[in-house]
A and B are shown apart, each in its own frame.
Chain A
Amino acid sequence: MTADAAAGPGGEPGFTPDFTFSIDGVTVPAKKGDTILKAGLRAGKFIPHYCWHPGLSIAGNCRICLVHATKTMPPGKPVIACATEVVEGMEVESDGPRTKELREGVMEFLLINHPLDCPVCDQAGECDLQQYSFDHGRETSRFEEEKTQRPRKDLGPLIRFVGNRCIVCTRCVRFCEEVAGTGELSVVNRGDASWIDTFPGVELDNPMSGCVADICPVGALLDKDSMHSTRVWLLRGTKSVCAGCATGCNVNVETFDEKVKRITPRENQAVNRWWMCDAGRLTWREATAPARVGAARIAGQEVPFARALERALELVRDASGGVVGLTTGFASNEELFTFQGLVGRGAIAAAFAPDGATFTSRDGFAIAADKNPNREGARRILGEGALGAAGQDAAIAALEEGKVGLAIVHDAAPGGAPWSPRLLAALGKAKARIVLALHETPANADALRGAAVVLPAAHATEKDGTFVNAMGRVQRVRPAVPPPAGARSDLDVLEELARAAALQPRVLSAAGVFRRLAQALPAQFGGLDYNALGELGRPAPGAGEALLGRGRPLPIVDGVRSGYEAGPVSRAPGRADDEQVRPSVHHESLVGYGTRRGDL
């Protein structure tokens, strides 16, 4: 099997069973060392679980996965499926009456001190407690006593804790220790007075803190960004990738009423495991930021999109002299390829957002320093010459010669592309200028000012196409919401312009552009089929190691927590300062145009 097959959820490279056992009479193949739960999940046999998470060590505390099984010690005593190793010929009862009774028991215990505030709880609709109590609960409660009370408080800039809902599964604590490696959370107190808390003054503020809300099986940890915004069952998910950096985390862009409400991670073992970073989670706000270019303009006056496009087409058709094109690491492969065709033999320069903070989790997930989602695509399509300073110098030279009739600027970079001042100055030398821009900020204001036509560019959540991540993996971005009123997608606009330039036939879809691109650039994209990219993408020729951070982090212990493990020690061995323990979050991509984490 290829490395790629390992990427899927639960996918395992070269899974060959060592023996079989059975769950509810169904034969299940297993590898030596598998737990009942793991082997069951692989075979599509679901056993309820709260505390178990595939990316974390085994805690075995919630007890919802209790099953009856043969060949266990002592015979007849139920075992937890998440921690019990299967042996050949073991017979597991997961749906039978005896196991049902176990689950009813655990559910009853879990609910006695649970507030049952589902109607106002953000987790309702995607709550494992709600789900299992529907599946395994009793209809009436025998509990008549007063419930215990635990605090409700903010744990950090992104996360709120609602103590009474916490089932003390410790997923969040283990996440901060074993994955983020920052250890901001701990169970405090003991018994039914335990809850989850931080040390005063040391907030839950690591670059991946939002993940605790994803993995909390109940509504005890809430993402404040999306809290109280929409009932989750109304959300529509679009499988896309994050455009926050070159890692290209697989995400679900969740929308309601054609508006993005939140972005959550989607498992891809070759890219982001189960996680995503906090900054990426908030990238959807770029689409609604005040700096967004919402309407088309001709000579600085807002006009209907169709008129502006018409004007742009005229400019292309009538262009005399050379053409210069400026683009960014935020353009999709399809946009870049079309743009290249449009500019033809003219100079093309791609500018990139500056490097930002990086972070590597203990399990190999890495936030790339490169904040451009498609620098690798630009490199593969435009070639090294167009990139960075070299590309800009060539463009400046062409412009300064004074023979450029038309400059086409495709600026889909959040915060505005960081063109060099010299390039901005030189732009004025082109006779006319068409600008597609996502944002208008001090960075790109000079490019927009004096443009003959300005068209709104699409945000990543509005795009159809592909990006190539830092490791050379080609992944689909899918439009979750339409571009601003009346606007058409960047690819669509660029295609129209290219046809107007009569340089190439009009292609209608991203898939079509990709097909042409793969044919034209076999060394870069050969063998890839747009429709076969699937939900998890495919490595392009010469792709690097699958996981960006692999090899660097401390391995997480894939074992039962009962065994001894490296504890929640900070990443630095020996002495460590708090500052080292807690890397700060990068969110510069949001700074400067309206949204900061502190505002949440």
Chain B
Amino acid sequence: MATALPTAGPLVERTFTPEVEAELEALCARYPERRAALLPALRLCEREFGSVDLGGMKLVARLLGLAPAYVLGVVSFYTHFRRPTDGTYVIEVCRTLPCALRGADDFMQHVERKLGIKAGETTKDGMFTLKDAECMAACDKAPLIQLNGHNQELLDPKTFDALVDQLKAEPEAFELRKGCRDPFPWTKPADPAAQRTRPEGERDYEHEALTHEPTLLRRCYKGRATTLAEYQADGGYAGLKKALALPPQQVTDMVKDSGLRGRGGAGFPTGVKWTFIPGEDKVPGPRYLVINCDESEPGTFKDRRLIEEDPHLLLEGIAISCHAIKSQHCYIYIRGEMVLGAERLEAAVQEAYAAGVFGPDALGKGRRLDCTVHRGAGAYICGEETALLSSLEGGRGYPRLKPPFPAIKGAWGQPTIVNNVETICNVALILGRGLDWYKSLGTPPSPPDLYPKLPRGGAGSRGPKIWCVSGHVQRPGLYDVPFGVSLKQLIFDERFCGGMRPGRKLKGVIPGGSSFQILKADEVDVPLCFDAVANAGSSCGSAGVIVLDDSTNIVMALVNVLRFYHHESCGQCTPCREGSGWMLKIVERIAAGAGTLEDLDTIDAIANQACGKTICVLAEAFSWPAQSYIAKFRDEFVEHIKQGRNLTGGRLCAPGGSGK
């Protein structure tokens, strides 16, 4: 990564106009402490001065009462601020594994040729800056770029050239494509004719999957956001009405009873987490709900779709959850790269304020509820809930020591619940559609129906679920199918992903986002639910299902994954800061044909020396892939070492996209 500080250029003294200062003051008023307005204030600099430069940092430091070095420390932690050296158009090419599996590396070479510059450089005319980027939460749309913050998806050399040529020829006439305009990726509506494969009276998850009517995504794929009126017409906000008529404790009990588990990665039971909030007699003062919309785990792209196209589902869930945990302010932390998502979410929040979902009497009896959209600035680690809180408070995205857990001592030292977007959308569904409906979906705890593939004693995985499938399948995309569907069915069924590209066989699947262990082709006949996948030695994680076909060079896949986590280590703790880089250097050396067999042991030792010894689990996130790829595809690593060369000439996999 570029280690240069964002301090290029002379210090030009900056000032905001009185209007912008007033805007900043209004932003400050949304937080209990001025420092929290730091990232928003830096966005104001971007807007007013074209980039975050030294003068802007100094100005913001003065206005917020911070030391200038502190502001520099924060700015340099994040990658998504416009730098003074950036050209008019910043083109960021996603190079992370799911995109790379679909040709991002070849595409990048084309982009470099077309623009005549390498990553990190700016064209001489100052028009284009090219940057390597990481997963943009649109892995089904690879190859893709972000152009000044907006995804331009499913590109190929021809469409990219056209884009650039148009920009050069008539930049004024150029209209940025915003958002997706794609059809539902799978056959719709649900297939009523699907045949049961198990006897009547026994649960048939395969059949359930085929006949399931999408619920989480039912209003998506319109190419725009559902309006509040449309949402209400479809039965929306009825759940909120129900919830507000109940005492908070009862709502929490319902969520607990529903069996809802967090969709952000750890699968922690949501209702149980809510009960960890101490009573007001023990810890007085505000409680906060914080929505984790940082979605950056490679292979995960569900939350983006939900907030871009059906934001009110989330907002309804927020109002219900705030009622349950007695919170009067919800912060939605949305990753910096989701420019469109933030715009649409902000618009929806305004609609909701106007409709009284938020505002002075939102919770009834004169109880106010506020909702603030807070944009991040480009740091994967801010998805980790305590790093997210550090970032929300206006700091470097450093994870914090636990205990204390956020539910006890979170944002601004107050009890805080952090939940994923999809989790809170589920809360809206639990209230809206009822507990019985909710509990009929997914797998129950310690399944009484003896579904043979489920382990005993698990906590169950209830409710609808969005699976994000990327990589070498015919139809990558989002699949709104309840827990229990088998990984194999999801990948191979014609109604879903439609199997491998022609002539290719499955090599392995990472079921929960790139930080988890890989499953080999013969391990994919596993029901997708937390307990079963854990039993198979991996995790449902954030449901980022990354599919690798037999053309994939596993060593190159590991290089790609390690590059990501090395780049995203916050650098606080010794084992992760040093171990991630060390491991990457070794694997790069193996990939270059200069590895030794001892290297494989060293990698394992680094993993063991790091896992469980750090502040957050990013150490696991780079160790588990390494350990599992080597354990399951050891021969391939050994072959690279023995032959002393890269077996695929440095390519990750055979060229071409899905074959469609």
A residues bordering B, Cβ < 8 Å?
58-64, 66, 77-78, 80, 83, 102, 105-106, 108-110, 112-113, 142-143, 145-146, 148, 150, 167-168, 177, 182-194, 197-202, 560-565, 567-570, 572-578, 581
B587 to chain A, nearest CB (A): 11
B379 adjacent to A190 (CB under 8 Å):
yes
Residue of B nearest to A194 (CB): B571
B1 adjacent to A105 (CB under 8 Å):
no
A192 adjacent to B589 (CB under 8 Å):
no
Residues of B within 8 A of A197 (CB): 5, 69, 72
A194 adjacent to B577 (CB under 8 Å):
yes
Binds A, one of B44-52, B139-147, B388-396, B537-545: B388-396
Residues of B within 8 A of A563 (CB): 400, 404, 409, 413
Residues of B within 8 A of A575 (CB): 62-63, 65
A574 adjacent to B574 (CB under 8 Å):
no
B570 adjacent to A192 (CB under 8 Å):
no
Residue of A nearest to B400 (CB): A562
Residue of A nearest to B577 (CB): A192
B67 adjacent to A568 (CB under 8 Å):
yes
Q: Which size bracket describes the interface of B in this complex?
A: 35 or more
A106 adjacent to B571 (CB under 8 Å):
no
Task: Give the complex CA separation of A63 and B602 in angstroms.
Answer: 20
Task: Give the complex CA separation of A409 and B577 in angstroms.
Answer: 63
Complex interface residues of chain B between 253 and 267 (CB less than 8 A to chain A): none
Residues of B within 8 A of A167 (CB): 574
A200 adjacent to B404 (CB under 8 Å):
no
Task: Give the complex CA separation of A108 and B586 in angstroms.
Answer: 15
Rank and list the top 5 A-B pairs by shortest CB-CB distance, nearest first: A183-B67, A186-B73, A562-B400, A564-B413, A562-B401
- Residue of A61, A78, A150, A193 near B615 (CB, 8 A) is A61
A568 adjacent to B402 (CB under 8 Å):
no
Residues of B within 8 A of A109 (CB): 574-575, 577-579, 582, 609-610
Residue of B nearest to A74 (CB): B612
Task: Give the complex CA separation of A411 and B1 in angstroms.
Answer: 61
B480 at interface by CB-CB < 8 Å? no
Task: Give the complex CA separation of A572 and B65 in angstroms.
Answer: 7
Residue of A nearest to B5 (CB): A188
A105 adjacent to B613 (CB under 8 Å):
yes
Q: DSSP majority for the B interface?
A: helix
Residues of B within 8 A of A561 (CB): 400-401
Given A102-B613, A190-B396, A562-B386, A60-B571 contact (CB < 8 Å):
no
Complex interface residues of chain B between 559 and 609 (CB less than 8 A to chain A): 566-575, 577-582, 585-586, 589, 598, 602, 605, 609
A570 to chain B, nearest CB (A): 5
Residue of A nearest to B389 (CB): A564
Residues of A within 8 A of B3 (CB): 150, 189, 193
B210 at interface by CB-CB < 8 Å? no
Residues of A within 8 A of B446 (CB): none
A193 adjacent to B67 (CB under 8 Å):
no
Residues of A within 8 A of B274 (CB): none
B70 at interface by CB-CB < 8 Å? yes
Residues of B within 8 A of A560 (CB): 401, 404
B566 adjacent to A567 (CB under 8 Å):
no
Complex interface residues of chain B between 368 and 394 (CB less than 8 A to chain A): 379, 386, 389, 393-394
B71 at interface by CB-CB < 8 Å? yes
As a 0/1 sequence over residues 1 to 39 of chain B, the CB contacts with chain A under 8 angstroms (1 = contact) are 101010100010000000000000000000001110000
B7 adjacent to A193 (CB under 8 Å):
no
Residues of A within 8 A of B412 (CB): 564
Task: Beyond A567-B35, A581-B67, list 8 extra A-B contacts (CB 8 Å).
Answer: A60-B573, A109-B579, A168-B577, A191-B571, A193-B3, A561-B401, A563-B404, A569-B66
Residue of A nearest to B416 (CB): A564
B191 to chain A, nearest CB (A): 44
A110 adjacent to B379 (CB under 8 Å):
no
Residues of B within 8 A of A64 (CB): 574
B401 adjacent to A83 (CB under 8 Å):
yes
Given A63-B573, A106-B613, A186-B72, A192-B578 contact (CB < 8 Å):
yes
A202 adjacent to B69 (CB under 8 Å):
yes
Given A78-B613, A191-B570, A148-B581 contact (CB < 8 Å):
yes
B552 at interface by CB-CB < 8 Å? no
Residues of A within 8 A of B35 (CB): 567, 569
A112 adjacent to B571 (CB under 8 Å):
no
B614 at interface by CB-CB < 8 Å? yes
Residue of B nearest to A569 (CB): B65
B184 to chain A, nearest CB (A): 39
Residue of A nearest to B401 (CB): A562
B329 at interface by CB-CB < 8 Å? no
Task: Give the complex CA separation of A183 and B34 in angstroms.
Answer: 17
- Residue of B70, B566, B612, B614 near A191 (CB, 8 A) is B566
Residues of A within 8 A of B394 (CB): 567
B77 at interface by CB-CB < 8 Å? yes
Task: Give the complex CA separation of A106 and B577 in angstroms.
Answer: 11
B315 at interface by CB-CB < 8 Å? no
Task: Give the complex CA separation of A199 and B11 in angstroms.
Answer: 11
Task: Give the complex CA separation of A186 and B70 in angstroms.
Answer: 6
Residue of A nearest to B408 (CB): A563
B54 at interface by CB-CB < 8 Å? yes
A211 to chain B, nearest CB (A): 17
A564 adjacent to B67 (CB under 8 Å):
no
Residues of A within 8 A of B63 (CB): 575
Given A562-B404, A564-B393, A63-B609 contact (CB < 8 Å):
no
Residue of B nearest to A572 (CB): B65
B61 to chain A, nearest CB (A): 8
A114 to chain B, nearest CB (A): 9
Complex interface residues of chain B between 448 and 471 (CB less than 8 A to chain A): none
A60 adjacent to B615 (CB under 8 Å):
yes
- Residue of B11, B54, B574, B582 near A63 (CB, 8 A) is B574
B76 at interface by CB-CB < 8 Å? yes
A168 adjacent to B76 (CB under 8 Å):
no
Residues of B within 8 A of A112 (CB): 578, 582
- Residue of B62, B571, B582 near A168 (CB, 8 A) is B571
Residues of A within 8 A of B74 (CB): 186
B578 adjacent to A200 (CB under 8 Å):
no
Residue of B nearest to A560 (CB): B401
A184 adjacent to B566 (CB under 8 Å):
no
B157 at interface by CB-CB < 8 Å? no
B225 at interface by CB-CB < 8 Å? no
B640 at interface by CB-CB < 8 Å? no
Residues of A within 8 A of B5 (CB): 188-189, 197
B490 at interface by CB-CB < 8 Å? no
Task: Give the complex CA separation of A484 and B77 in angstroms.
Answer: 54
Residues of A within 8 A of B575 (CB): 63, 105-106, 109
Residues of B within 8 A of A568 (CB): 66-67, 70
Residues of B within 8 A of A183 (CB): 66-67, 69-70
A183 to chain B, nearest CB (A): 3
